[in-house]
Structure 1
Amino acid sequence: MLGIDKLSYQSRWCRVSPLRKFALYLLMMMLAFALPPVGQALWLLMLAALTCWLLRVGPMRYLRWLAVPLGFLLIGVVTIVFSASHNAQSLLLSVPLGSFYIGIDAQGLLVANQTFWRSLAALAATYWLVLNLPFPQLIILLQRLRVPRLLTEQILLTWRFIFILLDEAQAIHRAQSLRFGYRTLPGSYRSLAMLISMLFTRVLLRYQQMSTTLDVKLYQGDFHL
């Protein structure tokens, strides 16, 4: 099982109704967008503590999860902070570049601060929902929200094929490792290329097997969700 799936099943709120979780998530997002930066920072700490308690994980692991999107967020914030102007007096700190001055804008600094904490608070709320909502409850939630049945079936099949893809990739990689396929850098590249080509073939074979199984069971085009 995927790491996210394992965490959602070990959550203290695993059996709580998905509609209640979604309603609470909407409230969390409203607060994440409505509070001032100081309130958003405190809200971020509260959501992080709640998530760690529900999932029975340590704060360092949670910080590693936040570190994944933090790099993209910092790049976006930096582009907001720096600005170009003809007048150096309009910038707090500036460096001349031709006829322009590039530096830190006071208004951009304010906007960047608001964007940073708002994004982190919203991200913490989204983490809370994703990590506390097992996939079967997600399907139930989509049905209750009247999401088109075709889209729900596509999500279900995509989730199923993620496991098939990972299972096949692990089996091929294990076989290659036992044959010392990754001992050298050139050998690793060759093994990786073989893994990708074999993985495509194996997944198509598994798909054909699933289609045959559905035909045997008189599949009529609808899954019983």
Structure 2
Amino acid sequence: MKFDMDYIAHNNALTETNPYFKLFLTIILLIVTLAFDNLYFDVTVFVIMSIVILTIAKINYKSYLKFLSIPMAFLVITCIFLIFFFGKGDVIYETGILGIVVTTDSWHYGVYTFMRVLGCLPCLGFLALTTPIAKILNCLRTLKVPKILIEIALLMYNSIFIFLNEIDTMQKAQETRLGYHSYWSSFSSLGALVSIIFLRSLDKSETLQYSLDSRGYSGELPVYEPKKR
């Protein structure tokens, strides 16, 4: 099942719920989760918001797990570095490799960072998976957020999905040519994929600029405005 966040945002049980309510609820939960230095509170927020996403918004659990997978991978890597390479204090574990140790402070940093981010992820997921990007940007516009930030967000959102589709297409092409059948071929294919994506990004940015100019772009992108009821 291919993950399509934009489709999910337009097709769930909370799509028509007031976007301002969802936006402010997300912001408040993020602030409270980051402000509280309590692991139990972080876990509680994660569980409650996950239940809301899965049962009230009725979003497929596979889609929700795919949404969490990429940030969770970065989170785990970051916390591993925090645990093994940062912090001072009493040594609680010695790896025996180049003097790398785990201290009380580094363990505290790693665990608390992991739990705080873990509590924030479903809050962001609640907004991203239940509210179309057009409505979010309209809320930001009415809240007097600078236009340049809204336009950058819109272009980034559009570009992310274009490149994800490009990556998916190229990975499938590499797999059909046995590009990942061994350890070394996987490294070679990954390196080729990264380099091609870099070149494609330059090409796509130039194409985007040409398309905007051909449509009379004057330095400001229009933002969706819903009809007043």
TM above 0.5, one fold? yes
Which of 74, 97, 107 is matched with 1:69 structurally?
A: 74
Gaps of 5+ in 1: 85-89
1:78 and 2:76 aligned: no
Q: Which runs of 4+ in 1 moved over 6 A?
A: 95-98, 186-189, 193-196
1:101 Cα shift?
10
User: Structure 1 or 2: larger strand share?
Assistant: 1
- Check conservation: 2:87, 2:109, Cα contact below 8 A: no
If the length of structure 1 is used for normalisation, what is the TM-score?
0.66
Compared with structure 1, are the counterparts of its residues 47 and 93 closer, same or farther at alpha carbon in structure 2 (3 Å cutoff)? same
CA distance in 1, matches of 2:51, 2:149: 34
Gaps of 5+ in 2: 180-184, 224-229
If the length of structure 2 is used for normalisation, what is the TM-score?
0.65
CA distance in 2, matches of 1:21, 1:82: 37
The residue aligned with 1:87 is none
Which of 27, 36, 41 is matched with 2:43 structurally?
A: 41
- Check conservation: 1:18, 1:140, Cα contact below 8 A: no
Deviates most, 32-41 or 21-30: 32-41
1:9 Cα shift?
1.4
- Check conservation: 2:85, 2:106, Cα contact below 8 A: yes
Q: How many residues are matched?
A: 209
Compared with structure 1, are the counterparts of its residues 121 and 206 closer, same or farther at alpha carbon in structure 2 (3 Å cutoff)? closer
- Check conservation: 2:79, 2:111, Cα contact below 8 A: no
Instruction: Give % identity.
Output: 15
Q: Match of 2:157, as an amino acid? A: W
Compared with structure 1, are the counterparts of its residues 165 and 204 closer, same or farther at alpha carbon in structure 2 (3 Å cutoff)? farther
The residue aligned with 2:52 is 50
- Check conservation: 2:76, 2:114, Cα contact below 8 A: no
Q: Match of 1:124, as an amino acid? A: P
The residue aligned with 2:226 is none
CA distance in 2, matches of 1:16, 1:37: 30
